[in-house]
């Protein structure tokens, strides 16, 4: 059972892989990192077919602190918490 820092963090971890914002842990450059990710489309959605320029369907950034309660995530969850690790959801990076 995961001990959550706050309800906001838990709610966004449970949305990982779905459209919208989510939080999880993934390897980035060979180390585990807390990630805030946004997905613009649902899984299997091809997206706009005649958009005049490319659009970003997934974007992400590394987190150090919880956006909702402000806790330091490594201090609270540890360096590489296995229960939060979802490596298949991260944007591919050099490892």
Helices and strands: H and E segment counts in the chain: 2, 3
The parent domain of residue 68 ranges over 20-43+53-95
Cα–Cα distance, 42 to 13 (Å, whole number): 16
Six-digit token string for 82: 């296995």
- What is the per-residue pLDDT across 34-89, written as a single tens digit (0 to 9) for each? 999 999 887 777 777 776 667 778 899 999 999 999 999 999 999 989 999 998 88
The answer as to whether 85 is a domain residue is yes
Six-digit token string for 22: 């989510």
The answer as to whether 26 is a domain residue is yes
The answer as to whether 78 is a domain residue is yes
pTM above 0.85, yes or no: no
Q: Please report the DSSP string for 4-16 in residue order.
A: -S-HHHHHHHTTT
∠ CA 81-66-3, rounded to 5°? 45
Domain count, the chain: 1
The answer as to whether 1 is a domain residue is no
């Amino acid at each position: 059972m995961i001990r959550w820092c706050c309800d906001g963090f838990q709610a966004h971890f449970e949305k990982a892989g779905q459209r919208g914002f989510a939080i999880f842990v993934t390897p980035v450059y060979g180390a585990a990192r807390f990630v805030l990710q946004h997905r613009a489309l649902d899984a299997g959605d091809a997206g706009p077919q005649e958009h005049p320029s490319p659009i970003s369907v997934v974007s992400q950034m590394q987190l150090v602190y919880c956006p909702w309660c402000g806790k330091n995530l490594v201090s609270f969850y540890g360096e590489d918490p296995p229960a939060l690790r979802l490596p298949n959801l991260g944007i591919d990076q050099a490892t």
